[in-house]
Amino acid sequence: MPYEVRGKCVYKKKGGKKVGCTKGPIKKYLAALHAAEEDPSENIDEVILREFVRETILVEKKKKKKKKKFRGYHPEESYEKASIKDLYLDRPTPHGGWPRGPSKSYMSNKPVNVQISDWLKSMHMLEQVDSDPEVPIETRTKNGNLIFSPSGLSPGDAADVVYFYPGINKGRQSSVAKMIRSIRSKGREKSRVIVLASLEDTNFEDLKNDADSFFSDHDLTHRDQILGGFSAGSRGVKKALESPIFSQVWLADPEIGRNPESHWPDNLENVIMIYNNPGEWPKEEISADGWQNMPWLAKRIHEMGGQSQEVDDSHLDIAIKVLGLIL
């Protein structure tokens, strides 16, 4: 019987009567029509119906094959668990504690990064322990001090420890922390753990206890112990120098203080000072009887066997330079 095809439908050429349509291949549909013609005992409607059912089943099977194997949140499906390191939860966040307080939320005294990782663990979305454990890159202690460890440091390794005192205002802890992160992002770091004090005059015993606990918790071994300070951080350095354990002491454009001879200790033989005189200090603080008698301290350091270098860099640039030399 002669037919003509229009899209997915078949019509009789004579009279234009519609025979039927299909969702499948039109050629197979025509073959079914011809099969019905060759066997008059076959009802053409039944042949078409069988072909339609068969094509529908094939189309549905193809759709199922295209479906993603895993999707949604159902527990029977599969997910790749992330690690704390993958999600950068091994370092503190800037949430909460504005402007100088610890990183925490109103719901808990835990650091925000710890709260997030604990929640992910409770949802079984985070590995409890990394398969290749490393020492965390950043840690904030209960005292508010920040500890930076070099990437790739693993339990059992040995490392130097650097105690560093920040300044105030633009030189406070958060600013110095940004300097450290920027220097380390360039990939030229030494195997040194930095303990950055929360304040310019943090008690040195708190710094040392935090460092000792960190080394003990991560099975690390002390090598050299180094002391440093920027600007007003010299207040903490002067007190820390009462402990004669440092192989090096770095001063970045330090605050000298009034009547320095009565405040600076005598053990300055390991000191390396980089400064700008008069630099950006207020003029009223630069006189011989004022706070910033840089020549006095430079001379004192040289007399005791230390080193000092005068540069033309800005106050903050000196801090970056000294941190770069330490790290």
Q: pLDDT tens for residues 128-153?
A: 554 445 678 888 999 999 999 988 78
pLDDT tens digit sequence for 68-87: 444 455 555 555 667 776 77
Q: What pLDDT is attached to residue 65? A: 57
List, in sequence order, every residue forming a beta bridge with 263; answer none if it has no partner: none
Reference 230, options 198, 204, 255, 194; nearest CA is: 255
Please, are residues 225 and 245 in contact by the beta-carbon 8 Å criterion?
A: yes
**From-to residues of CATH 3.40.50.1820 in the chain:** 134-326
Distance between CA atoms of residues 316 and 252, nearest Å: 9
Ranges in the chain, pLDDT < 70:
1, 35-53, 55-56, 59-81, 85, 91-110, 124, 127-134, 188-189, 261-262, 277, 279-291
Residues 6+ apart with CB under 8 A from 220: 135, 153, 155, 156, 157, 158, 159, 193, 214
Q: How far is CA 293 from CA 101, 254, 298, 311, in A?
A: 33, 10, 9, 16
Q: Side-chain half-sphere of 137: how many Cα atoms within 13 Å?
A: 19
List, in sequence order, every residue forming a beta bridge with 116; answer none if it has no partner: none
Q: What pLDDT is attached to residue 177? A: 94
Q: What pLDDT is attached to residue 264? A: 85
CATH architecture of 134-326: 3-Layer(aba) Sandwich (3.40)
pLDDT tens digit sequence for 1-48: 577 877 778 787 777 777 778 777 777 777 777 766 666 555 556 666
C-alpha dihedral sign at 191, 165, 92, 245: positive
Please, what is the end-to-end C-alpha distance for the chain in angstroms?
90
